[in-house]
A and B are shown apart, each in its own frame.
Chain A
Amino acid sequence: MMFYEDVKAGDLIPGLVKGPVERIQLVKYAGASGDFNPIHVDEVYAQAAGMKSVFAHGMLSMAFLGQMLSDWLGLGGDLLRFQARFAAIVWPGDVITSTGKIVRCWEEDGEGRVEVEVESRSQEGTVTVKGKAVVRLPRRSA
């Protein structure tokens, strides 16, 4: 289990590589999320909307970051805040690499708090999502 004492500002958290994103995953995500905007699943509609093809829901990209954070936290910590700005579209075929870096650690209510800057990039290096998270970590001494 990870404790507040185990981390410090400047540390990188374990990254996560996802994809290539497949069209079928967009269909599954539409079904699982209830977001049936056809622009994510219907090629004809997406092209009529001026896009080169269907593209991933922003929230699917954020879910990749969420997976990275919950894998890192394991059973010990909790997410308190999780913010994401969708900077570029994720297309079918993209391989998405997510990374995170601890930028701040402090104590609050006898527990640890850690702020992490996170981002995802495509195989071309384009930043697709940029965000941050605040997590609560237990203290070893507590």
Chain B
Amino acid sequence: MVGRKSKPARHLIERGAIRRFAEAIGDSNPLWVDEEYARKTRHGGIVAPPTFPFTLPAGSNVREGLPIDLKKILHGEIEFEYRRPLRAGEVITCSAEIVDFYLKEGKSGVMSFLVTETRGVDERGEWVYKFRSTTVIRP
């Protein structure tokens, strides 16, 4: 299971998707929504909030086929690395890989931890963000 890789998926970073995300989290920063404002900043246009990259799916689900009950999973931890903010209108290729799996004895039994690493690469072939995310599977 560790080492299993997703297919890549190309995503156009849509202004509307960024706006809906900003509205959902209740963040009214004009950098996420106001093109005229954002154009005058050093970003040169609308950029995405820092946790937005988590919403971009890879081309296939690396957890597909694993015996994981949706009722039992919790998000444990995540760490993002950024080279720069994600810009509206750019195309990002997103892929994921399972990088670790381990068990830990908890209060209510054995908990499983599944760690995936996802990265987004721009059209020049440079990574823009990476994140390492740990899903906890309750007993």
Contacts and interface: CB of A to CB of B under 8 A. Distances in A.
A3 to B, nearest CB: 14
A103 interface: no
B25 A29 contact: yes
B1 interface: no
A113 to B, nearest CB: 13
A63 B25 contact: yes
Main secondary structure of the interface of A (DSSP, over half): helix
B49 A37 contact: no
Contacts of B57: 34
Interface stretch (A7-15, A76-84, A119-127): A76-84
A92 interface: no
A62 B82 contact: no
Nearest to A45: B71
B84 A78 contact: yes
B131 to A, nearest CB: 9
Contact of B49 (A29, A67, A81): A67
Contacts of B39: none
A101 to B, nearest CB: 19
Contacts of A50: 71
Contact of B79 (A33, A35, A57, A83): A83
Contacts of A80: 81-82
Nearest to A37: B70
B51 A59 contact: yes
> B-side binding surface: helix, strand, loop or mixed?
mixed
A142 interface: no
A57 B33 CA distance: 23
Contact of A83 (B20, B21, B41, B77): B77
Given A37-B70, A39-B70, A80-B82, A59 B29 contact: no
A58 B57 CA distance: 17
Contacts of B20: 28, 31-32
Contacts of B55: 32-35
A82 B82 contact: yes
Interface in A69-114: 69-71, 75, 78-86
A28 B24 contact: yes
B75 to A, nearest CB: 4
A57 to B, nearest CB: 7
B42 interface: yes
Interface of B: 17, 20-21, 23-27, 29, 31, 41-42, 49-51, 54-55, 57, 70-82, 84-85
9 contacts: A28-B24, A31-B24, A32-B24, A33-B55, A49-B72, A62-B51, A63-B51, A67-B49, A80-B81
